[in-house]
Amino acid sequence: MTKNKISFQKLNKRIINCKKCPRLYSYIRTVAKEKVKRFTNENYWGKTLPGFGDINAKLLLIGLAPAAHGGNRTGRMFTGDSSGDWVAKVLYDHKFATKPTSQKLDDGFNLINTYITAAVRCAPPQNKPLKNEFDNCLPYIQEEISFLKNLKVIICLGKIAFDSYCKLMRIKGVKFSHGKLFHHNNLSIICSYHPSRQNTQTGRLTWLQWKKVFTQAMKILNDK
């Protein structure tokens, strides 16, 4: 086992056992116990979620937070919900994943040259984390980025993920807009609207717009 893999395993174990945010910890446990009707017979993960993917990745996706009945249920980010459907399909189409669907932990969905993480690791009430909850999670992203030695491109999914990354890296003067590309510390940063229902079902984020973000990322990686 490589030193880098051991580092990720230790970090992920700390994340899974994290209880820094009492409000979030209480919420995800309550959701896991009470569930929703369509998932009544399922055992929810109900714990803090680590990132996942290829530890030799050149591409990093940063989301907002796990969904209460998506990642918080399945135990993997962008898995088992509509946002995960969009992420899995576009990654597969660009050869960053082994299959076009991400439904549960043992479904054979694996990332290729890609790692996925989030600004906050617990599903927040009303999808609205508090400032201190973001701050508590920032060190985890910082460690992940330091472990991803081959990283070349970061895609920030939504303004909140973008703001968290900018705060972490002390980037100032750059405004979020869909499709925006800028460079920092030898990394290419691409901004995208988050593939939430609020964006995809209203037409704010179309499939063509979404696809272009990953086509751009793939082109940058192929050129480097």
pLDDT value at 202 more than 70? yes
pLDDT in tens, 57-115: 999 999 999 999 999 999 999 999 999 999 999 999 999 999 999 999 999 999 999 99
What SS3 state is found at 154?
Answer: strand
pLDDT of 224 over the 70 cut = no
Q: Is the dihedral of CA 70, 74, 77, 80 positive or negative?
A: negative
State the Cα angle at 151 between 200 and 182, rounded to 5°: 60
Percent of the chain with pLDDT over 70: 100
Mean pLDDT rounded to a whole number for the chain: 96
Question: For the residues 26-34, what does the mean pLDDT come to?
Answer: 97
pLDDT in tens, 99-122: 999 999 999 999 999 999 999 999
pLDDT digits (tens, 9 = 90+) for 151-192: 999 999 999 999 999 999 999 999 999 999 999 999 999 999
3-state SS class at 109: coil
pLDDT at 3: 87
Q: Which domain holds residue 190?
A: 3-223
Domain count, the chain: 1
**CA dist., res. 221 & res. 154, Å (int):** 11
Please report the pLDDT score of residue 2 as a whole number.
87
**Using CA atoms, how far apart are residues 202 and 20, in angstroms rounded to an integer?**
35
Q: Six-digit token pair at 74?
A: 């399945």
Q: Quick one: pLDDT at residue 84?
A: 97
Query: Tokens 């593939």 correspond to what residue?
Result: 195
Model confidence at 1, in pLDDT bands (50, 70, 90)?
A: confident
CATH number at residue 29: 3.40.470.10
SS3 assignment, position 128 = coil
Q: Taking the model in full, what pTM does it have?
A: 0.96
Helix, strand, coil shares, percent, the chain, to 5: 45, 15, 45
pLDDT of residue 183: 96
